[in-house]
């Protein structure tokens, strides 16, 4: 845990007692503050109370009258503005209490650390911690985990957290030369009053979470807040395959050297530092220095064009941190991948089963569909805004779609006659049908869960959905052996 000392002796309201909220309460208490906690979920309240935290209904105006709160710390899942502010947020506004989150508290601690001693540890300038932050619509988790894996394999002191793994305040206090690698979602970056990474990565941009951010512009603005404090930035990596990324890279050029991620060597025109993949090699072009290449391994955990971009981003960051190409190449070969992200569950005969439950929007699903041939595609769930136009290029890869959940009828209308489909309804039935038809093909085929939808109509989370797919796929594999 990283103690938060900014609010020593003060009362701090904490709304939402999930992973990040509870860790924020612990860190505040460890730093001398008095967290006053609330969650509308009674089980979460009971868990916090069992740890000895003070509980008070933050929806009640009397609570705000009784406590002189220094801040309200909000969990990322709770809206603070769009589609409408949570009532507790409105009370904070009414009483002039700043609304913030755990990510901001983390950076506040590190800013204090850089200015002073931290406990008994004295950091010389060359020993100070480095924070790498990764955002984007898709690929954040894989890129974050890949950077961490490379650094671990190279023997560098590193911790990973944020929107993946551990909450930022659940991480350990920094050691000398510590590197924090953080995945940050738009929910986290939008609200944080303090964001000061040393290296910032913007992977890509596609429609998602528009209701939470008041539209496309709000969603993009939330992502780009990671780049607001240019005085702390020592390295910037930006994917420019969409207009939003190209705008951001161009905007930063006046004060930063920007490494851009592009599809091919023509895409980086106008930029002095570009990375792209050509003939299975990562090419890094730096003006006045020429090109250097790194052969990319045939790692099954890193299939597809989108993972080539993830590898390019991770390699760029690790080179900025001083790693040699030999260290990168070795670590890229051994990266095990992440659950629910192009996860190879197994194969039965000529049929492979792949779990990409994390593909919760059309752009992410398109990347998965572009990585295979003869696909029996399981899609649907809680549909998001937008159509399926991005899928057009991948339709030749798909033999048939098996549609599930609330979004099944929407997908059926959008697919029309472009692709054969089955209204399966449930994941269990879809997987059963897809496995049977894939086996009957008699050729190499893939049963792919890439839903292009949120999971909350039938499952608790994308992890829950992916776990269900994996369990049933393994049952099919075991039965067939």
What secondary structure, in 3-state letters, does 393-433 show?
HHHHHEEEEEEECCCHHHHHHHHCCCCCEEEEECHHHHHHH
Q: Point out the domain boundary residue: 44, 66, 100.
A: 100
Q: Point out the domain boundary residue: 274, 305, 334.
A: 334
In this structure, the answer to whether residues 259 and 186 fall within a common structural domain is: yes
Indicate whether 207 belongs to any domain: yes
In this structure, the answer to whether residues 422 and 325 fall within a common structural domain is: no
Do the beta carbons of residue 154 and residue 323 sit within 8 Å?
yes
- Report residue 351 as tokens: 């049929």
- Rounded Cα gap, residues 81 and 248, in angstroms: 24
Alpha helices, H only, 238-360: 243-252, 305-320, 325-334
Q: How many CB atoms lie within 10 A of CB 214?
A: 14
- What's the CATH number where 296 sits? 3.40.1190.10
Report which of 306, 304, 284, 305 is spatially closest to residue 295, judged by C-alpha positions: 284
Number of domains, the chain: 3
Q: How many CB atoms lie within 10 A of CB 307?
A: 24
- What's the CATH number where 353 sits? 3.90.190.20
Q: Point out the domain boundary residue: 65, 100, 135.
A: 100
Range of the domain at 38: 11-100
In this structure, the answer to whether residues 166 and 292 fall within a common structural domain is: yes
In this structure, the answer to whether residues 172 and 321 fall within a common structural domain is: yes
Per-residue confidence (pLDDT) for residue 481, from 0 to 100: 61
- Report residue 273 as tokens: 């530092």
Indicate whether 5 belongs to any domain: no
In this structure, the answer to whether residues 126 and 210 fall within a common structural domain is: yes
Burial of residue 18 (CB within 10 Å: 0-12, 13-18, 19+) is middle
Per-residue confidence (pLDDT) for residue 319, from 0 to 100: 95
In this structure, the answer to whether residues 199 and 313 fall within a common structural domain is: yes
- Rounded Cα gap, residues 417 and 407, in angstroms: 17
Angle value at C-alpha 53, between 88 and 24, nearest 5 degrees: 65
Output the tens digit of pLDDT for each of the chain's 481 residues.
Answer: 999 999 999 999 999 999 899 999 999 999 999 999 999 999 999 999 999 999 999 999 999 999 999 999 999 999 999 999 999 999 999 999 999 999 999 999 987 765 554 555 556 667 789 999 999 999 999 999 999 999 999 999 999 999 998 999 999 998 889 999 999 999 999 999 999 999 999 999 987 788 899 999 999 999 999 999 888 899 999 999 999 999 999 999 988 889 999 998 889 888 999 999 998 899 999 988 889 999 998 898 898 889 999 999 999 999 999 999 999 999 999 999 999 999 999 999 999 999 999 999 898 899 999 999 999 999 999 988 777 888 888 999 999 999 999 999 999 998 888 899 999 999 999 999 999 999 999 999 999 999 999 999 999 999 999 999 999 999 999 987 6
Do the beta carbons of residue 443 and residue 421 sit within 8 Å?
no
In this structure, the answer to whether residues 447 and 473 fall within a common structural domain is: yes
323: left (phi over 0), alpha (psi -120 to 50) or beta: beta
In this structure, the answer to whether residues 76 and 148 fall within a common structural domain is: no
Report which of 110, 153, 129 is spatially closest to residue 314, judged by C-alpha positions: 153
- Rounded Cα gap, residues 118 and 114, in angstroms: 8
Residue written as tokens 């609010």?
A: 7
In this structure, the answer to whether residues 381 and 432 fall within a common structural domain is: yes
Helix axes 325-334, 305-320, angle to 10 degrees: 140
Indicate whether 290 belongs to any domain: yes
**DSSP codes of every residue in 118-150:** BTTB---GGG--EEEEEE-SSSHHHHHHHHHHH
My answer on whether omega of the bond before 223 falls inside 30° of 0, hence cis, is no
pTM of structure: 0.90
Indicate whether 303 belongs to any domain: yes
Indicate whether 2 belongs to any domain: no
Indicate whether 4 belongs to any domain: no
> Backbone phi, then psi, for 191, in 5-degree steps?
-90, -30
Indicate whether 6 belongs to any domain: no
In this structure, the answer to whether residues 307 and 234 fall within a common structural domain is: yes
Per-residue confidence (pLDDT) for residue 117, from 0 to 100: 47
Indicate whether 438 belongs to any domain: yes
Do the beta carbons of residue 142 and residue 210 sit within 8 Å?
no
In this structure, the answer to whether residues 17 and 149 fall within a common structural domain is: no
345 HSE (CA, 13 A, CB side): 26
């Amino acid at each position: 845990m990283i103690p938060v000392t900014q609010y020593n002796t003060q009362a701090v309201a904490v709304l939402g007692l999930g992973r990040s909220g509870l860790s924020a309460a612990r860190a505040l208490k460890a730093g001398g503050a008095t967290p006053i906690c609330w969650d509308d979920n009674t089980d979460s309240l009971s868990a916090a109370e069992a740890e000895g935290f003070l509980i008070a209904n933050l929806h009640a105006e009397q609570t705000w009258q009784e406590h002189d709160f220094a801040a309200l710390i909000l969990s990322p899942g709770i809206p603070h503005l769009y589609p409408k502010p949570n009532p507790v947020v409105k009370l904070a506004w009414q009483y002039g209490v700043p609304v913030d989150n755990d990510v901001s508290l983390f950076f506040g601690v590190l800013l204090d650390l850089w200015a002073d001693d931290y406990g008994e540890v004295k950091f010389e300038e060359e020993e100070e911690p480095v924070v790498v932050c990764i955002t984007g619509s898709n690929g954040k988790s894989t890129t974050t985990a890949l950077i961490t894996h490379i650094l671990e394999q190279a023997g560098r002191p590193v911790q990973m957290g944020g929107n993946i793994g551990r909450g930022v305040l659940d991480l350990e206090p920094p050691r000398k030369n510590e590197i924090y690698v953080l995945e940050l979602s738009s929910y986290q970056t939008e609200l944080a009053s303090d964001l000061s990474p040393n290296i910032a990565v913007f992977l890509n941009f596609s429609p998602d979470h528009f209701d939470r951010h008041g539209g496309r512009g709000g969603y993009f603005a939330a992502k780009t807040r990671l780049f607001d404090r240019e005085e702390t930035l020592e390295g910037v990596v930006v994917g420019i395959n969409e207009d939003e990324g190209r705008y951001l890279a161009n905007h930063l050029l006046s004060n930063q050297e920007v490494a851009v991620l592009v599809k091919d060597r023509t895409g980086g025109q106008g930029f002095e530092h570009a990375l792209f993949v050509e003939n299975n090699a990562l090419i890094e072009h730096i003006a006045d220095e020429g090109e250097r290449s790194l052969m990319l391994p045939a790692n099954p955990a890193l299939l597809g064009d989108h993972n080539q971009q993830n590898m390019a981003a991770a390699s760029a960051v690790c080179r900025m941190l001083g790693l040699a190409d030999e260290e990168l190449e070795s670590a890229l070969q051994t990266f095990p991948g992440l659950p629910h992200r192009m996860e190879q569950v197994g194969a039965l005969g000529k049929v492979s089963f792949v779990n990409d439950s994390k593909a919760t929007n059309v752009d992410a699903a398109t990347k998965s569909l572009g990585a295979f041939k003869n696909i029996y595609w399981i899609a649907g769930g809680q549909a998001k805004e937008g159509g399926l136009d991005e899928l057009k290029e991948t339709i030749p890869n798909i033999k048939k779609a098996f549609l599930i959940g609330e979004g099944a009828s929407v997908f059926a209308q959008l697919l029309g006659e472009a692709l054969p489909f089955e209204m399966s309804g449930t994941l269990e039935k879809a997987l059963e049908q897809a496995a049977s038809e894939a086996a009957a093909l008699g050729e190499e085929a893939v049963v792919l869960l890439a839903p292009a939808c949120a999971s909350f109509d039938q499952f608790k989370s994308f992890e829950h959905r992916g776990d269900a797919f994996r369990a049933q796929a393994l049952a099919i594999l075991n039965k067939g052996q």
